[in-house]
Amino acid sequence: MPTIELITEINAPAKRCFDLARSIDLHLISTNHTGETAIAGRTSGLIELNETVAWRAKHFFIWQTLTSKVVELKSPHFFADEMVKGAFKSFRHEHYFFYVDGKTIMKDIFMFESPFWILGKLFNLITLKAYMTSLLKQRNLVIKQVAESDKWAQ
């Protein structure tokens, strides 16, 4: 199963970063380039334990819908969401927040499987892992920029 691990240092409290990472509104800002919208479930505000959100976005020139659910949540240090319906065979995204020496270390672990057995494995290797890494880095950059500014209060 392909796995992406990212570490982002943020000069802000862990609780602020934790909440920004759960913000549907901020997620939409970070994925603006895909035309992403939240179409069902929790569509704004902070997603909570056992809540779902359905996203619609254009990836690889195709409009896709994906529903994920928050399956674990321990404020302000950890939450995990998993796909319940969508283009992946499966995915799990774990979000960790450690407050160390006046800054937050945000760690993402994104594990995914593509459908279509051998073709899916080739797609992962050639394209998908790099594409997902880029999306997650963009998302984390937006979280960092907002957390370190006055914009987080909005």
CATH number for the domain formed by residue range(s) 3-153: 3.30.530.20
All structural domains of the chain with their residue ranges: 3-153
> pLDDT tens-digit profile of 30-71?
998 888 999 999 999 999 999 999 999 887 788 989 999 999
Among 34, 130, 139, which residue's Cα sits nearest to residue 81?
Answer: 139
> pLDDT tens-digit profile of 82-122?
999 988 889 999 999 999 999 999 999 999 988 766 766 66
pTM of the model: 0.91
User: CA 85, CA 122: separation in Å to the nearest integer?
Assistant: 22
- Burial category of 72 from C-beta neighbours within 10 Å (exposed 0-12, middle 13-18, buried 19 and up): middle
> pLDDT tens-digit profile of 7-27?
999 999 999 999 999 999 999
Which residues have C-beta within 8 Å of that of residue 55, sequence separation ≥ 6? 36, 37, 38, 39, 65, 66, 67, 68
Q: pLDDT at position 22, please? A: 98
